[in-house]
Amino acid sequence: MRERAQGCLLGLAVGDAMGAPAENMTAAAIAERWGRIDGFLTDEPAGTDDTEYATFSALLLLTHGPDLTSDHVADAWVTHLADRAGFPGAGFSELGTLENLRAGIRPPASGRHLHSWSDGLAMRSAVHGVFAAGEPAEAARLAAVDGAVSHDGEGIHAGVAVAAAVAAAMGGAEPGEIVDHARRAVPADSWTARSLAASVAHAGDTAALLDAVVVSQYPWTDLGPEAIALAFAAFLAAEGEFAAAVPGAVAMGRDADTTAAIAGALAGAHGGLGAVPAAWQALIGPVSGRCLGPVVAGWHPLDLADRLTERAGVSA
Q: How far apart are CA 132 and CA 162, in angstroms?
A: 12
Interval 114-151: pLDDT, tens: 999 999 999 999 999 999 999 999 999 999 999 999 99
Chain centroid offset of residue 75 CA: 22
- Contact between residue 70 and residue 145 where contact means Cβ atoms under 8 Å apart: yes
Interval 253-302: pLDDT, tens: 999 999 999 999 999 999 999 999 999 999 999 999 999 999 999 999 99
Domain boundaries, given as residue ranges, for the chain? 2-315
Give residue 314's pLDDT: 43
Mean pLDDT in order along the chain per 10 residues (316 residues)? 97 98 96 97 95 98 98 97 76 91 97 95 98 98 98 98 98 98 98 98 97 92 97 98 98 97 98 98 96 96 97 64
Superfamily of domain 2-315: ADP-ribosylation/Crystallin J1 (1.10.4080.10)
Distances (CA, A) of 193 to 59, 60, 171, 185, 262: 29, 28, 22, 9, 17
